[in-house]
Amino acid sequence: MTPSTLNLQTASAHQVMAAAGKKILRPGGKAATLQLCQWAQFQPGETVLELAASFGYSAIALAQQYGVRVVGVEKNPESVARARVNIQAAGLSDRVEVIEGDIFHLERIPGQFDCVLAEAILTMQSPLGKAKVLQGICDRLKPGGRFLSHELLARASQTEIHQALAAALRVNSTPLSEQEWIELCQTTGFEVVQRQTGAMELLNPTRIIQDEGWVDASKFFWNVLTQPGLRDRLFAIRRVFKQYERELGYLILSAERKSI
């Protein structure tokens, strides 16, 4: 969707940021995702399942950089169509596939994978939803398979933060504390082996440049400055992020499926 076709008052924050030209929509930015990939120690030919694959950018990058085979799951049919165009343009149709599907029904995806990647997915689910998705991930992993997670962290004032985020982001957003995320993984069949936390700077200008590069960051800033609807929504979102900057953060973790 473009700003001209998107209802900027009701659209979710990630839709608004994407309409402004932002591609990296993870709370810890590109650096946190790269750290996850380093922990994963991908080997050529391994299989990766990516949840909420969107336009296929991450799946394409994984295949290009590590030689893995990627299946992406995406609920939005328009995003699936765009992802397939991007995959074909990258010449990776033999190694990357994005399918239309629901993260709550991962049992419909055949086979098991060496790794599952889920970034900024679980935060938006209810407590029961978080557990259901994690159980589905566990079932899709081979024994000893790796789960790579990148989520929003709330160190304190969770109820207040949940309400503020829901109002600003226009989606359910219920980040947990570090210990709560770890316990949730443990109760759904995982053993957390590595983790890292840091500041949530998604709309920090310096972080935007680091994540998007100068050219795409310049386009993003120009769109925000010249389009009042985008500017108003993004400034409102950023105010909430700034208000709770001490409490909000990101968590990345690498976990292994426990042996049965």
For 104-161, write each residue's pLDDT tens digit. 999 999 999 999 999 999 999 999 999 999 999 999 999 999 999 999 999 998 999 9
The tokens for 156 are 């304190």
In the numeric block, which tokens belong to residue 33? 């995702």
The domain at 26-162+171-200+247-255 falls in which architecture?
A: 3-Layer(aba) Sandwich (3.40)
Task: Indicate the pLDDT class of residue 260, thresholds 50, 70 and 90.
Answer: low
Residue 2, pLDDT > 70, answer no
- Tens of pLDDT, residue by residue over 156-208, are 989 999 999 999 999 999 999 999 999 999 999 999 999 999 999 999 999 99
In 3D space, the residue among 55, 111, 122, 60 whose CA is nearest the CA of residue 83 turns out to be: 55
Tokens of 215: 């050219």
Express as a percent the part of the chain with pLDDT over 90: 95
In the predicted structure, residue 77 carries a pLDDT above the cut 90: yes
* φ, ψ (nearest 5 deg) of residue 199: -75, 145
Q: What is the pLDDT of residue 166?
A: 94
Strand residue runs (E) in the chain: 47-51, 69-74, 96-100, 113-119, 141-154, 190-199, 248-257
**pLDDT for residue 259:** 76
pTM value surpassing 0.85:
yes
User: Going along 126-247, which residue ranges are E strands?
Assistant: 141-154, 190-199
Query: Max Cα separation, the chain?
Result: 56
Question: Rounded distance, CA 32 to CA 14, Å?
Answer: 18
Q: Is the dihedral of CA 59, 60, 65, 70 positive or negative?
A: positive
What's the confidence (pLDDT) of residue 116? Answer: 98
pLDDT score recorded for residue 13: 94
